[in-house]
Structure 1
Amino acid sequence: MHNTTLPETGFVRLSTVLKVFPVSKSTWWAGIKDGRFPKGVKLSDKITAWRVDDIRELIAQVDA
């Protein structure tokens, strides 16, 4: 994992998530489908983002 700084709270877009978890977009979406990665939140029809808390929890699981 890369050492990307996440905001304290809020949401991050996929481009930021992929800087933290260096996987392809298709791998990320497949991981969501099979439950390895958290589901995003639809902010609009074309915008999906992830809760920073969910990404931090995933980081903790991977580091454990």
Structure 2
Amino acid sequence: MTIIHQLPETGFLRCKQIVGDKKATPPIPPIIPISRTSWLDGVKSGKYPKPVKLGVRTTAWTVESIRALVESMGAAQ
């Protein structure tokens, strides 16, 4: 089962959940295997979905927007 199929139908994902974190315990596998910098550059340029501010220091992306992005990339199997 791919990671995209393990996502909830609705909710929010933080950056580390999208691009992964090998240093976390346990490691977080990436949904989109790119660097954090590449992800944020893509967000800034409009290539990737815009985030939602959940608080002063909390930024996240909707599961729906990430699922749509992965499906548009043809990675969802």
* TM-score normalised per structure 2: 0.74
> Is there any run of 5+ residues in structure 1 with no aligned partner, and where?
none
Moved over 6 A (4+): none
Q: Which position in structure 2 is the counterpart of 1:8?
A: 9
Unmatched tracts of structure 2, length 5 or more = 20-29
Residues 1:34 and 2:35 are matched in the alignment: no
Shift of 1:16: 1.0
AA in 2 matched with 1:44: G
Which one has the largest radius of gyration? 2
Residue correspondences, number: 62
Residue 44 (structure 1) aligns with: 55
- Report the identity percentage: 42
Let me know the Cα RMSD of the aligned residues: 1.3
Question: Displacement, 1:8?
Answer: 1.5
Q: Choose between structure 1 and 2: higher helix proportion.
A: 1
Task: Give the alignment's TM-score, normalised by structure 1.
Answer: 0.88
Q: Which amino acid aligns with 2:51?
A: G
